[in-house]
Structure 1
Amino acid sequence: MKAIPVKSKIYSHQLLKISPFKEVIKPTVPHKHADYFELIVLEHGAGYHTIDDQSYDVLPPSIYFLKPGQVHCWDFTRIPKGYVILFREELLNRKSLEIVYNLPVLMQLKENAMLLELVRCFCQDYQSSASPAILEAYLQLILLKAAEESNAQLQDGKPFNPIYYQFKSLVNVHFQQIKKIQAYAEMLHLPGAQLNTICKTASGKTPSMILNERIVLEAKILLSNTELSIKEIAASL
């Protein structure tokens, strides 16, 4: 494979989509989704799910959560059954934005978890053309329940600064083309020093550290999933 393909399962004008997971056993090639989040709820199935440079056993009931730009592929040994929820960042309120950047990639659920029934109802109402307000409320509630199930480390009671998450989103989209932190600060209409303070307060890391971590991760992904040489990877990054 010469490059990792980018696939889209949602139209450019759509902010939200939920559908049943395809019930087939067919290995997928490593791919990524550029501009939306993906929350996959599996109730049945077995096999492996590789996300970035880590492979996970498929042990339903479970939830897999992918941020834009993450690379993944499936290798099932038993027919899967579940749901796929796709949504864009524009749909998220402040709390939900914090949640999606703190959720782990894998959450194991109990057999009778309320979250499973909530997702089933969400899919039924989506297919019945429920109002956008109802569908958005489902999404916010599902994210809150997912955070509860995973014990996500949210900053409850602490100042929440959405600019930190906006910066991480910009890095995820532009890290291959834009290497200067000042350019990101300008996109956020901030002085570079203020962006540095925001990132260090939220994560203990400087903007440069966050950018470099994303570049290193991409190098690992390309080494594992493509035929590109180290020299070619270095040139692309």
Structure 2
Amino acid sequence: MSAIPVKSKIPADQQLKISPFKEVIKPTVPHKHANYYELILLEQGGGYHQIDDHQYDVSPPTAYFLKPGQTHCWNFSCIPIGFVILFREELLTRECLDIVYHLPTTISLSNSPSLFELAKQFCQDYRIPASQGVLNTYLQLILLKMNEEMATPAPGHQLFSPVYYQFKALVNEHFLKIKKIQVYAKMLHLPPAQLTSICKTASGKTPGMLLNERIVLEAKTLLSNTHLSIKEITDALDFSDASNFVKFFKLYTNLTPGQYRELAFSRQQ
């Protein structure tokens, strides 16, 4: 069975890394990154960037933001130039954590040329290496400047809901095997009703809806980026049989898995 590979570009005991983007034109294989965020600042380049089930044109200057567990791949038509910043959630301040939770997948940087100079200096000091405090400050400054670039800045702390994002992180980690909301509530030391209230306040959706959305996203990723059979995907997603998987998928997409795969493959040609 050939599922989506998981790559780790940062050691388990490291919280932050910055490096220049590889200046090569070479399509990458769809893959995931586990347990860390990836922020890509592209000053030059062309082609497209596939993230989960969406395809984005590479139109620099642009930032791309990937959360743990997302699937992505590149297909460049001209040399990319920029920086890749990898970081873990533990080192963020509350203010920056709030920004990270609300960052969109793509952000235009056309009004922020100084951000690339900042990233260049960040990269140089990382190589020295500078102290962890200095490096953390570079990351915080970049996040704050990106927040200013967003059309709709991250909301104030009055909407900050750590439990909601803790739940989302747990779902992202365990959705393949844990399908009961009561189990997630127990992991968060909350009554299920309170977890439901928190999720509905933060997103307008119940915990069950959020869990099912994550399962559907994984199904789409496997259908569009692998040649696994429907039976193999059924097993990978821990459905009892293919019939139940097909019904579930069609309920959320109005397409059968086979129809979705045909459309996904046709878009890639």
Alignment correspondent of 1:139 = 139
Is residue 2:7 matched to residue 1:7? yes
Question: How far, CA to CA, are the matches of 2:132 and 2:65 in structure 1?
Answer: 22
Cα RMSD after superposing both structures = 1.5
Alignment correspondent of 1:234 = 234
Alignment correspondent of 1:224 = 224
Question: How far, CA to CA, are the matches of 2:236 and 2:104 in structure 1?
Answer: 28
Alignment correspondent of 2:206 = 206
Query: Is contact 1:52–1:72 with CA below 8 Å preserved after alignment?
Result: yes
Alignment correspondent of 2:124 = 124
Q: Which has the higher helix share?
A: 2
**Partner SS, residue 144 of structure 2:** helix
Question: How far, CA to CA, are the matches of 2:198 and 2:138 in structure 1?
Answer: 31
Query: Is contact 2:111–2:149 with CA below 8 Å preserved after alignment?
Result: no
Alignment of 1:188-199 (within 5 A): 188-199=188-199
Q: Give the alignment's TM-score, normalised by structure 2.
A: 0.84
Alignment correspondent of 2:262 = none
Choose between structure 1 and 2 for higher RCO, CA contacts under 8 A separated by at least 6 residues: 1
Q: Percent identity?
A: 67
Query: Is contact 2:98–2:157 with CA below 8 Å preserved after alignment?
Result: no
Alignment of 1:13-162 (within 5 A): 13-110=13-110, 113-156=113-156, 158-162=158-162
Change (3 A) 1:209 1:112: closer
Alignment correspondent of 1:185 = 185
How far residue 231 of structure 1 moved from its aligned partner, in angstroms, is 2.6
**Partner SS, residue 190 of structure 2:** coil
Change (3 A) 1:44 1:159: closer
How far residue 101 of structure 1 moved from its aligned partner, in angstroms, is 2.1
Instruction: Kindly report structure 1 stretches of 4+ aligned residues shifted beyond 3 Å.
Output: none
How far residue 201 of structure 1 moved from its aligned partner, in angstroms, is 1.1
Query: Is contact 1:2–1:228 with CA below 8 Å preserved after alignment?
Result: yes
Residue-by-residue CA offset, 1:22-44 (whole Å, 9 max, x unaligned): 11111110000011100001111
How far residue 155 of structure 1 moved from its aligned partner, in angstroms, is 2.5
Unmatched tracts of structure 1, length 5 or more: none
Give the letter for the 2:102 counterpart: N
Question: How far, CA to CA, are the matches of 2:94 and 2:164 in structure 1?
Answer: 12
Alignment correspondent of 1:168 = 168
Question: How far, CA to CA, are the matches of 2:222 and 2:136 in structure 1?
Answer: 35
Number of matched pairs: 237
| Larger Rg belongs to | 2
Unmatched tracts of structure 2, length 5 or more: 238-269
